[in-house]
Structure 1
Amino acid sequence: MIEALLAQYRQTRALSLSCCEPLALEDYGLQAEAFTSPPKWHLAHTTWFFETFLLKPFSPGYVSPEPAYEVLFNSYYNGVGEQFPRPQRGLLSRPTVEEVGDYRRQVDTAMEGLLADDTHPERDEILERVKLGIEHERQHQELFFTDLKYSLAVNPLLPAYIRGEMGVAGIAGAPCWLGYEGGLSGIGYRGEGFCFDNELPRHRSWLEPFELSGRLVTNGEYAQFIEDGGYRRPELWLADGWATVQASGWTAPQYWLERDGVALEYTLYGAVARRDDLPVCHVSGYEADAFARWAGARLPTEQEWELAASKAAPPSDGVGTGHYHPGVAGQCGELQQLYDACWQWTRSAYSPYPGYTASAGAIGEYNGKFMSNQWVLRGGSCVSTAGHLRPSYRNFFYPQDRWQFSGIRLARDPQ
């Protein structure tokens, strides 16, 4: 068990570094908005997590290379102490990239020593926290791409993260609907592996019969919504959504643009011609809800999504293997694009399951304190890490957020 966990630790830490390989060293400080973080900060923060929640409490001889890192790389853990202001993370010219690398190597060496100590009296707790730390870093590997994409996109030069073609082939099949009987359904994680606390406790939920679209909404379908005045028709929008549209001046998804009469979409491969058959991506929950209403449908509840996903094929090993834009769905026959294209907005508020309790101490701030004013997304995206996703996984963002790889899967009541 220890060898397997240590292998996961090494693999996860190495993958974080490989995400930065296409970047020049001076690009590590990129940050374009208060809600994003620069690549260098992600590398340091995931290291801070292991240092703060494992080495400091369980390795008495461990000494941090810099006491100020406790503040600089603390994201939101008030129980640990102060945090450096998030909007100013891009101003951190120090520590340098090389110093962050040294920090990672020091923590990795200490972590390997801690894991090798099979006589430690707190061994069970250590192993559970290592598992959480690995999953936490996998989450930040995805955030690395979403934050970097936003920061590159605000540059008028529209630089690419990856050179070359996107490699997206095929033609999207016609939309279709798949029916589900509903009934009393088990919701939440089941199994012997890792899950986050917000996936528990498993409980029962009653569902009426429903239908889900077999694939995600495409750029072409969303363009029809725009052409029909979707962003100018208040009757399609929730009140807060309409206020957001008016205040933000939205007229299209996050990365749609037009140059010399050509419809383009900014991607991690740079600005490319927009393809009608690719999933619409980087839409907010408000936009997803308005499109669903325009289409005579609705967004699924998270319980509906989980029931349907539990009957479909599990995530493939192809997730997170070097494709940086969602691909085309094939011919409908089963649910497609569950985990490897875009996160899918649900109409469910992010709230605790019946019987949920957060862990004690600062580590309990991981999920529970965010269960307010956010919406649940399900599935996964083209930049999610392999092995990280499952039917019960609950992602969550504010409904106005759209810099994530978020798309739309429609639901409806039986006709």
Structure 2
Amino acid sequence: MLKLKRERMATTTTNANALLVAITLALLTCSPRCIHSAERRLLVGMTLVRNAAALGAFCLDGSLPAYHLHRGFGAGARNWLLQFEGGGWCNDIESCLERAKSRRGSTRYMTKWEVFSGILSNNASLNPDFYNWNRVKLRYCDGASFAGDAVFKNGTSLLYFRGQKIWEAIILDLLPKGLGQARKALLSGCSAGGLASFLHCNNFTKYLPSDASVKCLSDAGFFLDERDITSNHTMRYFVKDLVSLQGVEKNLDENCTASSLDFPELCFFPQYALKFITTPFFILNSAYDVYQFHHILVPSSADPHGHWNRCKLNPAACNPEQLNTLQEFRRDMIVAMGLFYKYSRRGGLFINSCFAHCQSESQDTWFSADSPRVHSKTIAEAVGDWYFSRRITKEIDCPYPCDTTCHNLIP
């Protein structure tokens, strides 16, 4: 009986050891993405800007603006990364009133905790160049890429178009918290937040010490002034109404608007504003940006019968004519960046051929074992090489469907 018990105990111990070895081997061979999924997510709490009211800085509905700050440490304690949140725009009273009742127009409806991943991660293996910086997410609640300055009231409704004031209020709140003594700083953003990076890049530099290394990054913010498939300027007219309604024009680059006197609203588009940005800039974009594909190139108004529906959901389902239209869109984007690509000594580019929109905040696309790559380089590596001047980084991918590293998951 005693011998049987010993044999059972030995068998149990052997099985446990075997299981432990298997788990260890799995973790050792696991990709960063796999390890990340097993880790606890980094959740960062919201900070309301209490002094914003004194500046007239309000979200669409009158609520106070907010941000999320995760402190840096070690060698990164005096470095700062500010990330504009994205989320589209509103260009008429009806859509702005609707937006004001949602998280896109009010901090009352926003999540009070945000997950920091990708470029905002505090894990050195997942975000090797910026993990120990002070990282800030600026919440988006104005509907004009943090650039408007107007108020609408008609007796029954009140809307605050105060994006510019929100930007200023958040910066002034962060300066005494250490931003004012920054050694290195990166102003970034995704989508409408990526556009905000273009709009506020030069201004950001003015708040920081003269000897600080200050640079800017736009992720999926290079929105083109492009005709749709019916040759209409759908996006241009949308922007014209947006700039007029929200009082954006006075906050656009003065040199740009002076050179576009007949159509100053065009300076809302990065392709026209870019040459007036003097701060080092990095453009991260898909040549087949999903948002632009769906809302600029093929908006629903241009395709009332849904001939593009299958192609929109799956690029492999596009017919030859549709693929040719997409390739022309890619060419137009690259041409719009042509002077920047050729002449900018301090600029950087990462233009891939994935059907994506925003790639810096997701760990899968920012830096993991199966992240998209251009010339064997991940987005995180390209941005880091550019920021720290390790090497020139101007990567442009081959046309779809040549890139096998793309996830091509259209949200």
The normalised TM-score by structure 2 is: 0.26
| Structure with bigger RCO (C-alpha 8 Å, 6+ apart) | 1
Q: Whose helix proportion is higher, 1 or 2? A: 2
Which protein is bigger by CA-based radius of gyration?
Answer: 2
TM-score, normalised with respect to structure 1: 0.26
